[in-house]
Structure 1
Amino acid sequence: MSNKLERFDITIVGGGPAGLFASFYSGMRSMKTKLIEASPMLGGKLNSYPDKMIWDVGGMPPVQAKQLVKQLIEQAKTFDPVIVLNQQIQGIERTKEGDFLIKSSTGEQHLTQTILLSIGYGAKNVVKLDLKDADKYENTNLHYTVKNIKYYQGKRVLISGGGDSAVDFANALSDVAKEVMIVHRRHEFKGHEQNVEKMLSSRIQIKRPFALKHLIGDERKIHSVEIDQITNKGIFLNKNERVQVDAVIVNHGMKADIGQIRHWGLHTDERHILVNNKLETGIDGIYAAGDSAKFANKINLLAGAFTDAAVAVNHAKTYLKPEAAMDIFISSHNPVFDQKNKMIEKAVK
């Protein structure tokens, strides 16, 4: 069957920021590229918080996540890669010619010489609130992410959590909501220092170390919550406080699982693919980039995901063609853009 399939130089599994940039960069390296994404849309975890402002992309002013996704997709399509959506990868095998045959959940197969895994943390599920009736309110005013900031206009909002997302959402809502309270079970917040400092100096009410204890509402909505101070061992101190709320946002992290990939013979731990400084996974011809890749001195920023993608693609290129240069002309001097630059300049005039 494999000799009837169209053969690609590189197949990128995962359409988040790392995978999208790899699709663009592999085009710069004149590689025949396919991108496979398990969900119906590209963008990865950026789609979980479309209205959130992204500050850490070099040379770009703050941009909403949904706008960044749009721009990344446009950039990824520069060299016309084949893009496949709604296909979860189930397994791979080597062909007798040395290529990889990728098998998807739909039964479709893909033939490629190299693979770049940019799967984030794999299958991700939010850590749900373990309180009575929590699931009942998920369709009304109990939320696990913020998809539309305007929804919270004039509302009393309580946020439970202390990581980056909880801190970012608190800051984003402080000028929109009527009241914002953040409840965290530890003394220290885990968000980026500057964002934490901004939150602490704002009008946001901070309750720590506190945790949600009870949800109080009717058959449809939460009207108030009971919070209580908590010890470092998770024991409530029975100093119960009732807080009136219009919405509750829970950010207690994600349960991640890289799934079947851990059985492919790669170097892995529970959440990551372990790679070396060439982004190699332990199987020749397979690389990893972005959140899925773990290595020394990892930079856990979008800038790091883009760098991972370029490094992995460069090594995939030299794996296919050892005589190829390890890197390429910077984009402003790369001849592959000559015609495109002329078209842009003409449109500007």
Structure 2
Amino acid sequence: MSPTIHKTDVVVIGAGPVGLFAVFECGMLKMRTHVVDALDMLGGQCTALYPEKPIYDIPGHPAIEAAELIDRLAAQAAPFAPTYHLGQQVETLTRLEDGGWRVGTSRGVQIDCKAVIVAAGVGAFGPNKPPLDGLEAYEGRSIFYLVHRRQAFAGQRVVIAGGGDSAVDWAISLAEVAARVMVVHRRPKFRAAPESVGRMEALAAEGRIEMVIPYQLSGLEGTAGRLTGVRVADLEGVEKVLEADVLLPFFGLAMNLGPIAEWGMELEKGHIRVDPRTLATSQPGIHAVGDIAHYPGKLKLILCGFSEAAMAAHAVHPLVHPGEALSFQYSTSKGVPGAD
């Protein structure tokens, strides 16, 4: 018996924040969507890596936790009844005779559509791990590459290593619950948002965060998977030990496009090259938005991804509704289905 082939207007690949907003934008333009994501839950990195991490650059929200942002985006998309295919990866994209695409997943699901919006974030991802002897013995017990619940570190001595947004944001957040927070970085300059760095430095001045600079990780101390200390070395190789219960190394993610690299789109440095006016890729009918998309002047911000999702939805409308004039109205005048 041949498998059932679903039919829809647009397939959105990726159920992270930008993918969810793409569902909303498509819905506002009367386009039905199916959404595919390799994770078994909505939210992408926001849910898998840092659900309790505060995000500070969402318009209208001075601060909002990642998990709450996903909940709100899912609720915003809900009136348009998207169909979610979670826990499966898109493996094939096949061009159809009518100009559309057939999307095939790792679970054998097949979906025919008029257009595809790729919102796959960084593709498949995993943490960049520090090259420390005996690291594996501590992973999952004293060494963690993400924080699901900050309360899990309440009252503990936490060493955070790294100089990006994750390191800085979690240093600020965990300073509220941990017994001690130490930030290890090889130079005084951080790659995080300046406002966040300023907040961290203010907490350091108050004695609530200890800045261990310029140092880098050099070794681990402990037994049976439980840390008692983290060795760090300065630029001359002089070591000291930081008494610690937990190490959080935030050295970014190792990205892998996976099957995306085989779909015939023009790539640049592990990202999909797009036309910034329409987010169109080199494959007709396939658009890419969010972190995976690349164009001159690209900013990897969620709010930019939201804008790209709206632009892509408008760009694919003629493919879904050919010959139909798009009389765009603001949501304040148009309203949302199901809203009072």
Q: Same fold (TM over 0.5)?
A: yes
Structure 1's unaligned 5+ residue stretches are 231-236, 343-349
TM-score, normalisation: structure 2:
0.93
Matched to 2:35, the amino acid is L
Q: Give 1:273's aligned residue.
A: 272
Match of 2:215 among 207, 210, 216: 210
Q: Following superposition of structure 1 onto structure 2, how do residues 45-124 of structure 1 map, counting pairs within 5 Å?
A: 45-47=45-47, 48-124=49-125
What are the Cα deviations for residues 102-122 of structure 1, in whole angstroms up to 9, with x where unaligned?
111112211111000000010
What SS is found at the alignment partner of 1:172?
Answer: helix
What are the Cα deviations for residues 166-221 of structure 1, in whole angstroms up to 9, with x where unaligned?
01011111122121111112331100001111111213111222111110001230
Residue 291 of structure 2 corresponds to residue 288 of structure 1 = no
Cα separation, 2, equivalents of 1:164 and 1:136: 27
Matched to 2:75, the amino acid is E
Q: Following superposition of structure 1 onto structure 2, how do residues 241-260 of structure 1 map, counting pairs within 5 Å?
A: 241-260=240-259
- Asked if the contact 2:55–2:66 (Cα under 8 Å) also holds between the matched residues in 1, the reply is yes
Cα separation, 1, equivalents of 2:67 and 2:221: 34
Cα separation, 2, equivalents of 1:327 and 1:260: 37
Cα separation, partners in 2 of 1:248 and 1:327, compared to 1, 3 Å: farther
Q: Following superposition of structure 1 onto structure 2, how do residues 316-327 of structure 1 map, counting pairs within 5 Å?
A: 316-325=316-325
- Asked if the contact 1:122–1:271 (Cα under 8 Å) also holds between the matched residues in 2, the reply is no
Matched to 1:296, the amino acid is P
Deviation at 1:246, TM superposition (A): 1.3
Cα separation, 2, equivalents of 1:126 and 1:19: 22
What SS is found at the alignment partner of 1:121?
Answer: coil
Matched to 2:222, the amino acid is G
What are the Cα deviations for residues 140-187 of structure 1, in whole angstroms up to 9, with x where unaligned?
111111211112222111111111100101111112212111111233
Q: Give 1:223's aligned residue.
A: 228
Which shows bigger deviation, 260-269 or 9-18? 260-269
Cα separation, 2, equivalents of 1:30 and 1:332: 16
Q: Give 1:195's aligned residue.
A: 196
Q: Give 1:140's aligned residue.
A: 141
What SS is found at the alignment partner of 1:142?
Answer: coil
- Asked if the contact 1:2–1:111 (Cα under 8 Å) also holds between the matched residues in 2, the reply is no
What are the Cα deviations for residues 252-289 of structure 1, in whole angstroms up to 9, with x where unaligned?
11100112212221111243111012100011100001
- Asked if the contact 2:5–2:109 (Cα under 8 Å) also holds between the matched residues in 1, the reply is no
Cα separation, partners in 2 of 1:326 and 1:291, compared to 1, 3 Å: farther
Residue 127 of structure 2 corresponds to residue 129 of structure 1 = no
Matched to 2:245, the amino acid is D
- Asked if the contact 1:184–1:211 (Cα under 8 Å) also holds between the matched residues in 2, the reply is yes
- Asked if the contact 2:102–2:112 (Cα under 8 Å) also holds between the matched residues in 1, the reply is yes
- Asked if the contact 2:31–2:320 (Cα under 8 Å) also holds between the matched residues in 1, the reply is no
Deviation at 1:322, TM superposition (A): 4.9
Cα separation, 1, equivalents of 2:162 and 2:312: 35
- Asked if the contact 2:139–2:225 (Cα under 8 Å) also holds between the matched residues in 1, the reply is no
Cα separation, partners in 2 of 1:107 and 1:186, compared to 1, 3 Å: same
Which shows bigger deviation, 287-296 or 203-212? 203-212
TM-score, normalisation: structure 1:
0.91
C-alpha RMSD of the superposition: 1.8
Q: Give 2:17's aligned residue.
A: 17
Cα separation, 2, equivalents of 1:254 and 1:2: 39
Matched to 1:205, the amino acid is E
Matched to 2:294, the amino acid is K
Structure 2's unaligned 5+ residue stretches are none
Deviation at 1:326, TM superposition (A): 5.4
Q: Give 2:339's aligned residue.
A: 341
Q: Count how many residue pairs are aligned between Structure 1 and Structure 2.
A: 334
Cα separation, partners in 2 of 1:188 and 1:327, compared to 1, 3 Å: farther
Matched to 2:125, the amino acid is K
Cα separation, 1, equivalents of 2:242 and 2:126: 28
